[in-house]
Amino acid sequence: MDTNTITKLITTIAITAIPIIGAYVSKVILGNKQVVNLIQVLSPLAKDAVVAMQKLGATEFLEGEDKLSGAIKIVTKALTALGFSDADEALIKNEVEKEYALLINELDQTYPQMTEEQAKTKEQAEQKQSELAKADELAKAKQALADAQAKVNELQN
């Protein structure tokens, strides 16, 4: 046999084997309903988790890794509640990252993320507001004390 004949034989065998192998793999995958259900459920859960973390990032400063781990926790918790307690974390992480990549442009426009500087400014404003509230409360207390002292003086006379 020459090389050409061997090549044609291998090609013919490969072409014949591919549909058979594909059918077997499809049968095995479709036969396992839990895997099919997991695949159907994972994408929407990952999408919702990514959106939730982006919403949170609009009001709080979060690093990218914090958002990723938060989204993974959300999906893991939801899958556990649905009965998928042994879902692979790498699979979940990949799905979350895929959904993030698909949604990032839209999410950045809808939920602009808080920067570290904005978080510091917000914290300072909240602290100042707290101080003003305390000062206002102190002024009211002093006024109440003065009114009470005036009433005591009035009653003593």
Number of domains in the chain: 2
Flag whether pLDDT at 7 surpasses 80: no
Averaged pLDDT for residues 12-20: 77
Flag whether pLDDT at 31 surpasses 60: no
- Check whether residue 36 and residue 110 sit in a common domain: yes
- Check whether residue 89 and residue 148 sit in a common domain: no
Range of the domain at 105: 32-114
Write down the pLDDT at residue 1: 58
Residue 114's φ and ψ, nearest 5 degrees, are: -75, 135
Tell me which of 157 and 109 has the higher pLDDT: 109
The pTM assigned to this predicted structure is 0.54
- Check whether residue 92 and residue 140 sit in a common domain: no
Q: What is the Cα Rg of the chain in Å?
A: 32
Write down the pLDDT at residue 143: 92
**Cα–Cα distance measured from residue 73 to residue 53, given in angstroms and rounded to the nearest whole number:** 11
- Check whether residue 109 and residue 48 sit in a common domain: yes
**Cα–Cα distance measured from residue 124 to residue 92, given in angstroms and rounded to the nearest whole number:** 37
- Check whether residue 136 and residue 66 sit in a common domain: no
- Check whether residue 90 and residue 125 sit in a common domain: no
Residue 12's φ and ψ, nearest 5 degrees, are: -65, -45
The tens digit of pLDDT for each residue in 107-148 reads 778 887 777 787 788 888 888 888 888 988 988 988 988 888
